[in-house]
Amino acid sequence: MYGWHNKLLRVNLTDQKVSIEDIDPQVSKDYIGGRGVAMRYLFNEVDPQVDPFAPENKLIFATGPLTATPAPTGNRYMVITKSPLSGALTNSNSGGDFPTWMKRTGFDIFIFEGKAEKPVYVWVNEDQVEIRSAEHLWGKDTHATTDIILEETDPKAKVACIGPAGENLVLMAAIMNDKHRAAARSGVGAVMGSKNLKAVVCQGDKNTRMYDEAGMKQLSVKISKEVGADIKKGSSLREYGTAYVPAVTNELGILPTRNLQTGVFEGVDKINGPALRDQFLISHKPCYRCPIACGRLTEVDVPGYEGKGEGPEYETLAAIGSSCGIDNLAAITKANYYCNELGLDTISIGMTIACAMEMYEKEIIPEGDIGQPLRFGDADAMIAMVQKTAYREGFGDTLALGSYRMAEKYGHPELAVTARKQEFPGYDPRGAQGMGLLYATSNIGASHMEGDLAYSEVFGVPEKIDPLSTDRKPELIMRFEDAFALIDAAGLCVFLSVRYVFDKDVMLWPTRLTELMNLTTGAGYTPAEILTAAERIYNLERIFLIAAGSGSNDDTLPYRMLHEPLTEGPAKGRVVDLHVMLPRFYQVRGWDENGVPTPEKLQALGLA
């Protein structure tokens, strides 16, 4: 087998039984790997109406055929399950080191099903798989958990685990790997916690076999050299990490500020890349086999906020920073460390706290319920809320529900800035129309990673398009959604992929990605076939969503986005013109006017 091991590890936590299965090579070929093959299994085995916390829900970890190959950034894994936050799917993705170690166990995919009676962790050492007690780890944060597990298993192994947030079924709980990297969105950590699964540890030497090893190495080196040459010219990601972004989105007037009441933040210079570099940066940090090195190793020595770790990333600076009206970078960075240690999604917790701040200031939430004031700009209150949420203490028990259910509880669901009950990422779509269409139609609720047209609307990759126009956005969002599904299925990182393995045209034709896939797997794909595979993945997800009750009824955005125009900045006066883009999006997708894939579309994709 080339590229894919075509082996699956199934762990039944109820029966404490482990089994090894073959993956049908045709399934791998048709669904690429990673997110695609995982979705095929989820669709086959899980009722779309399942309660996400029921033992019948399955938690799937998935690598791709390019994971653990010389491909630059060939080191990503996905977590696929039904989300307790959104009731939709999850496509949680992470880098670090763990993905490569997982692929080297000799399995492409892990499926965790059922529920353990008592906390356990799973130690995967190639074919030797043990389900071990984690009772001594329950309650510990992700860093302590990782250290203890490595001592008990193999110091050179790699760990993915949950912290107190996942254990307490906080709806925005993340799965942390390598201590500082997160499969963060959609409550995947809570699903893991609901199964009493504390951690997964991986070690092995089963490298990915390649069909044309020499060819693969040659192309990989070529791509790495191109990246290197660009970095020499000057790389914002290498120099500043994703922290360079607040100045850019602020200039466009789309930096989420005070729960997206505006898109311009007066404190942006204090939370921007240069501020992080000047005050807290130790060095850049790459994931395994990445030439870009966008990661940040940081340390804060400001009294009251001391800590060391990785980040913060842009999304954190937006959600915990500007969206909470906070410009205290030391506090934001400390909160970021807490989120990594406790296992929380920084986007959802930040945006949920922002929503609570707005409701507090509007006297919708009484101070007595919170136990203290919670105003925009109060960094210490924000940190207190982060900690309380992980432990469901006091008002943290309400925050743990996410902003939509919290706002609904207080009679104002329209103040939650979510799609499918999942909190928005760091781009106000009133000033980036394509992102509005993306948030409304993504199969996981509001997310930038499901087809990040911000690459073009904001960052000019592969080419700059006008964020304020709705022209072509339906076609572009479809293509970006499929392209990102492809990247998630193949096992690469988007930071490399969009620029270096797709053609330099905004329609993202996957010429070089196809080459990498063929050199690795020998599958003989054409670029058209590989894009069709992506469309197949996307439509399979959509069918599941519709069966779960989340079809066109949920293809929408909050009232603020549709009816409250921005009052300042370049996008002043704009709302998201979703009604202009959505019907045409259904058309280009080959769906009917109710957003349901037509029989012809399903047949063409082999999904009929």
Partner 1 sequence: MMSMKVMVKLFASYRKLLPAESVNGKFEVELPPGATLADLMSRYQVPLTEDSVFLINGLTPAGLDQELFDGDTVAAFSAMAGG
Q: Which residues of the shown chain bind partner 1 in the complex (CB under 8 A)?
A: 233-237, 239-240, 242-245, 247-248, 251-253, 269, 273-274, 313-315, 426, 452, 454-455, 458-461, 463-468, 494-496, 498-499, 569-571
User: Which of residues 315 and 488 has its CB atom nearest to partner 1 in the complex?
Assistant: 315
Calculate the alpha carbon distances from 556 to 356, 419, 474 in Å: 22, 7, 15
Element (DSSP H or E) covering residue 285: strand 281-285
Nearest approach, Cβ of 321 to partner 1 (angstroms)?
12
Residue whose token pair is 């779309």: 48
Nearest approach, Cβ of 258 to partner 1 (angstroms)?
19
- Contact present, 420 and 446 (Cβ < 8 Å): yes
Nearest approach, Cβ of 510 to partner 1 (angstroms)?
16
Token pair in block for residue 129: 């798989």
**Cβ neighbours around 511 below 10 Å, total:** 12
Token pair in block for residue 121: 């962790």
User: Which of residues 199 and 454 has its CB atom nearest to partner 1 in the complex?
Assistant: 454
User: Which of residues 312 and 396 has its CB atom nearest to partner 1 in the complex?
Assistant: 312
Calculate the alpha carbon distances from 432 to 278, 466, 470, 476, 558 in Å: 30, 8, 9, 13, 15
User: Which of residues 364 and 461 has its CB atom nearest to partner 1 in the complex?
Assistant: 461
User: Which of residues 316 and 389 has its CB atom nearest to partner 1 in the complex?
Assistant: 316
User: Which of residues 567 and 594 has its CB atom nearest to partner 1 in the complex?
Assistant: 567
Residue 543, by phi and psi: left (phi above 0), alpha (psi -120 to 50) or beta? alpha
Nearest approach, Cβ of 240 to partner 1 (angstroms)?
6
Rounded Cα distance between 57 and 47, Å, is 8
Nearest approach, Cβ of 60 to partner 1 (angstroms)?
27
Residues 6 or more apart in contact with residue 481 via CB below 8 angstroms? 438, 441, 442, 450, 451, 538
Nearest approach, Cβ of 236 to partner 1 (angstroms)?
4
Nearest approach, Cβ of 70 to partner 1 (angstroms)?
21
Nearest approach, Cβ of 194 to partner 1 (angstroms)?
31
Rounded Cα distance between 79 and 60, Å, is 6
Rounded Cα distance between 85 and 423, Å, is 10
Nearest approach, Cβ of 492 to partner 1 (angstroms)?
12
Nearest approach, Cβ of 74 to partner 1 (angstroms)?
17
- Contact present, 174 and 166 (Cβ < 8 Å): yes
User: Which of residues 252 and 353 has its CB atom nearest to partner 1 in the complex?
Assistant: 252
Rounded Cα distance between 568 and 110, Å, is 48
**Phi, psi of 285, deg, nearest 5:** -145, 125
**Phi, psi of 8, deg, nearest 5:** -125, 140
Nearest approach, Cβ of 252 to partner 1 (angstroms)?
5
User: Which of residues 117 and 269 has its CB atom nearest to partner 1 in the complex?
Assistant: 269
User: Which of residues 209 and 572 has its CB atom nearest to partner 1 in the complex?
Assistant: 572
User: Which of residues 167 and 310 has its CB atom nearest to partner 1 in the complex?
Assistant: 310
Residues 6 or more apart in contact with residue 493 via CB below 8 angstroms? 73, 75, 76, 95, 287, 290, 487
- Contact present, 513 and 490 (Cβ < 8 Å): yes
69 secondary structure, DSSP code: S
User: Which of residues 91 and 550 has its CB atom nearest to partner 1 in the complex?
Assistant: 91
**How would you classify the pairing of strands 120-125 and 197-203?**
parallel
Rounded Cα distance between 1 and 16, Å, is 29
Token pair in block for residue 263: 């898109």
Calculate the alpha carbon distances from 378 to 91, 184, 304 in Å: 32, 24, 14
